[in-house]
């Protein structure tokens, strides 16, 4: 499926398979409904190279192949989240720099399958509506070395984690229509956009996202689902 996806997603610019795009995955998918993926493309920006402007997270053989389309604005080229897997597949990060070049990294992962076509746990329990939209967030220092995970220093970079309660229904389960968080926007205290994401139903139930943003104080978030509900709040450093 790679040639098909590349033709549809990478419509302009050079395409390079680049080891500087690190896609970190477990060796095996122990739970195909909740599979952690980390994309770290910060090496692309070393030594004054063109800035990264976009990261697309793709699982080639999923029925919903694109999980997240991440526009960085002022964020670092780093993203951690959890996705569903429907079968053994390559998982890739398509990283576009400001010169238009696409840098591609990825790995194969073994999976038992069915992650996109089974009902979420909250649907099976029947309590999904009781907790819909609950959000949690925290910020830590993103500095390398001994200060990692320490207090957020002014003027540095902060690692921000956000998690939401949401069933993230794919529409591939009988009698359950698609219903998922479809966008997330992050702003600083002054209202300037730090980062934004287009999110698909192949992101795991109760989605969580970790990004790295400038440590300029509080971060405001706003997530919108396909039903038009808005989940918003502020994370303090």
Which residue range forms the structural domain that includes residue 45?
Answer: 2-235
Q: Give 7's DSSP letter.
A: H
List Cα–Cα distances, 182 to 49, 52, 67, 70, in angstroms: 32, 22, 10, 12
Q: What pLDDT score does 225 carry?
A: 97
Q: Which pLDDT tens digit goes with each residue over 64-107? A: 999 999 999 999 999 999 999 988 899 999 999 999 999 999 99
Number of domains in the chain: 1
- Both tokens of 231, joined, read 């989940």
Q: Which pLDDT tens digit goes with each residue over 134-193? A: 999 999 887 654 444 556 656 688 999 999 999 999 998 888 899 999 999 999 999 999
* CATH number (domain holding residue 145): 2.60.40.2470
Q: What is the mean pLDDT of the chain?
A: 89
pLDDT greater than 90 at residue 111: no
């Amino acid at each position: 499926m790679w040639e098909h996806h590349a033709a549809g997603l990478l419509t302009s610019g050079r395409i390079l398979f680049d080891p500087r795009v690190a896609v970190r995955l477990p060796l095996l998918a122990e739970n195909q409904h909740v599979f952690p993926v980390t994309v770290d493309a910060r090496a692309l920006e070393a030594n004054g190279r063109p800035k990264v402007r976009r990261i697309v997270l793709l699982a080639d053989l999923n029925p919903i192949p694109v999980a997240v389309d991440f526009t960085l604005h002022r964020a670092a080229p780093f993203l951690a989240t959890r996705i569903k897997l429907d079968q053994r597949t390559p998982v890739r990060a398509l990283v576009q720099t400001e010169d238009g070049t696409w840098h591609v990294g990825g790995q194969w992962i073994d999976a038992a399958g069915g992650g996109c076509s089974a009902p979420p746990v909250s649907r099976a329990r029947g309590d999904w509506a009781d907790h819909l939209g609950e959000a949690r967030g925290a910020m830590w220092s993103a500095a390398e070395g001994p200060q990692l995970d320490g207090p957020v220093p002014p003027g540095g970079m902060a690692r921000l984690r956000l998690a939401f309660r949401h069933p993230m229904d794919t529409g591939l389960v009988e009698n359950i229509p698609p219903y998922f968080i479809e966008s997330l926007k992050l702003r600083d205290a002054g209202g300037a956009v730090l980062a934004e994401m287009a999110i698909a139903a192949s992101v795991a139930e109760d989605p969580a996202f970790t990004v790295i943003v400038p440590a300029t104080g509080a971060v405001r978030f706003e997530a919108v689902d396909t039903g038009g509900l808005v989940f918003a709040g502020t994370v303090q450093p």
